[in-house]
Structure 1
């Protein structure tokens, strides 16, 4: 890691040095030797070094083919490392070189490939910035291809992205707006172009903070006025732009263009001497800097001059144009050879990737097959377990039905026996006691005071006995609530289950419910619902307390089971076997079920069943 950091710092320092001394190539050669001879540098550092060398050649020298060569060396390594952002950055550098060398189709392809990579990455500040630059490059490419609608589309995308960037990005935004205005100018949509130029020129502080940009835009604005035949501000605007260039010693590209534009204006106005003067100034400067601009200057002079001078400049223009086209073909051929080498490497990588893909597919198929086999076996075991549970439930229901039937038989026998005893008391003992009372009453004719008193006492006693016997007979003949046995069964279930599940509980019952009027079917389903709900609370709720109540309201039995568990989202919860069984039972006895629950707030299950 330390070596990598040192290496990157060295490259950065050398790049800076060359920006100050572009004619000195010795240091860059030493870096190349260091790369080739070192075995300690990782692939990513080497790729970054190639990229930095390419950037140096592109920005600080005319060695375009060398820049392209090192970009492609970096491209190969970044592809192998799957370093998508760095690869996109490299492709952008390649696209810029191809655009500058008029390989517009190649530049478009490289730009689109860079955008495809960037679209697959998470948007960060660096990603957005690079995308905006690539869109700007595509805008220039399509402008040069005279596809103005496409050019406008990409410039607008670039502007939108640059506006999303943090910090002060007004100058890079203005540069793209200027490019957009140039497209409208080339498309002869002069009004739109003028509006965009004005938008830049009217910004406060631009002339002071960035005079070079101001002069460039001002010249473009003036030239658009000239093309649209609006001469009122000309040539003053041209001279204003030229003066700014001179004040900052900007004797490069912008100065050449301004002098060419002034020459065009004066030539159009018939002022040949002035036109020649500025055309020659443009030619002299362009001979030192830009071949393309020299080409334009020669063509302009061939139009301004007359006779042999015009022919001389035209021949020079043709020769230079042929030479430039030849050089462009040579450079494009070099680019093609480099791309061919890269494509060959890519084909080899594709073959390796295919072999790896087949290996991956076979591995995935085997894993999926094993997983499906596991699922089948697991599902079979679950089905067997479910069948066992269902069989057990059916057996339990049968046992419970037998238990309830036996309970009904017992209750019926008890009722018969009570009725028999009642009849015996009424017809036997009570009749005899009544006869005795009459006999004693007849003896009451004995007039002695003591006899009367004694007989009266016996008679009163017999009346008391008669009343007691009548009371017992009446109570025996009145049947008690035999359904209390069902409540005992429920209570036993709750006590047993909560003990096993380690739950505290509270059980409330409504004594006004006449369970004799409730069918065995409903009792069984109520019993099973309580059992299933307690099981679900234990299994899913992590509760410590449960409150169970049975109440009667307008001939409707309401069963309410409330726990203090973890709760769940009722809308998102999956309907398991237990809940399906509960719903099936409720439907079978024409009841309703309502479940309310919240996360960490417990669950309430409310079931309503009609008695009849």
Structure 2
């Protein structure tokens, strides 16, 4: 009898096993197979089935524990890594994000040790996505870049596209829009190259958001429309409502709230056509949030009630949590605080299910504001502190300002004015752009209240007879402070005056120094001219006359030989040369000729004696007689010195001289086609220094260009700047 029973049990166990021979993949068959084999591989298949088919979480947890035990027993690193990988997904379903990250990191490290780059890259993508959610963007980018690097030796697939897209998202969420744009465009390029239309829609949607944040609405709409067109082509209806809502946000941020509401309602209508309750609930919730922003509180409340009803039915806790927050905000802003507390308490119950602090920012802010508005200041204070603690890693100046300001109000209402003053000061430090008047007023109010309370405490502990002494001390302190402030103000004025005086003295010194330089230059030139005049007179009256007398005496000797005639000719030439030198040294007389006529005469004289061709031209429509004499005099000497240099040293075949007056500028140019010289040479000669001094004395600019093809000397004088418009009118009035 016992043998028959044993055979029956074996037969019962054998029948399901033979049935499973055809690879039955139901939960029961996988569970039976793993319980019989006790192998990590079979437990892995069972756990994978649980994850993919949404098996009850308690059964999923039991299967995971069995898989871990089998992997440890077999010392299988691969299946232990897969255990941590699936356990992370289990934690994600439970909304335990910290546990999710811990298990993903363990899986990542084990796959890395096994050199399984494909599975390692998958973990990188999921960790990058997680860190983006909790706003740890540096960590997100570390894992995302690691995953992208791994694909250098792998075939590109949808995981690679997800890595590129999430990398762009990390910059987008952090507000670094230019980097986000670059990486999003790269992701779109790869999704188009790999013909992955679903990822193209995601990338186009992302680019629409980026251009919206860059205040480029036309570009944003363009990418949203492309994404909608692709959704229509491939029948990807699930993405359409979110695209419509993004367009709604674009219009709302552009202060076109009515159009934003129209697109939000369009998103809701499309969701109703799809029939997916998760999407319908999210669309109701999104529309409700826009209605709150548009101050249509009653409509918002009705819409959010629909959202809460639907998402409660499907168990979407995240959307339900957001709907409770928006409902609380709608009642709070419409001053229905009792109703606001009803939904705030519901949100409180759900908040415990989320372990990611960044996900709770808005929740904490809303609750703190509600506690503040209903006078529950002591309860609001720890929430504000919690918000500030989170802002250490995720600084946002405006939110920090709100938290500090909320603490200041709470402490002020509780009578702790010293703390209120400190927190208000911190609030305005974190938000420099707040109006100074408002800040000063609030801080003054808190300071007055603080001092008043201190005085009241002191008066309460002192007798009546000490009140006058206290008043005396206060007045004395006030007078001392006023005196110190007065002295500081006087010192500040004194320092300012001294500073201004020092600047004026410095300016006077610079003017005096410049005037001295001009005076010394003029003195030098005047001395030079006086000496030239003296030499000219000596040569003309003395040497020339003596040479002439000698020439006449030698001519009287008629019986002289031929050599005597040659000597007479040579003597005549010497006398002409000396006479020419004396004429050059004599200063020009402008009472009888203009600078144009004198230069023309001087150059024609040079052409008769020099072997070099010299050409001269000037502006004919100018009345050169109206040019100030001191300018004409210096111009004459500058041309004279420059021509002498060209004739002596340049070995030129052609020299060109021009005198031009145009647009209030007097320009003198002397150029030749001869040999140049080295401008960088330290000893430039007396001639060039004299030219520079003369140009400086009349307020001009000297420019010298020299090289193998010749030399050009240009002098430019701004007549209007030096002599005013009157001179200019006289010169061109001819």
* TM bracket (short chain): 0.3 to 0.5
Given the two structures, how large is their TM-score scaled by the length of structure 1?
Answer: 0.45
RCO (CA 8 Å, sep 6+): is it higher in 1 or 2? Answer: 1
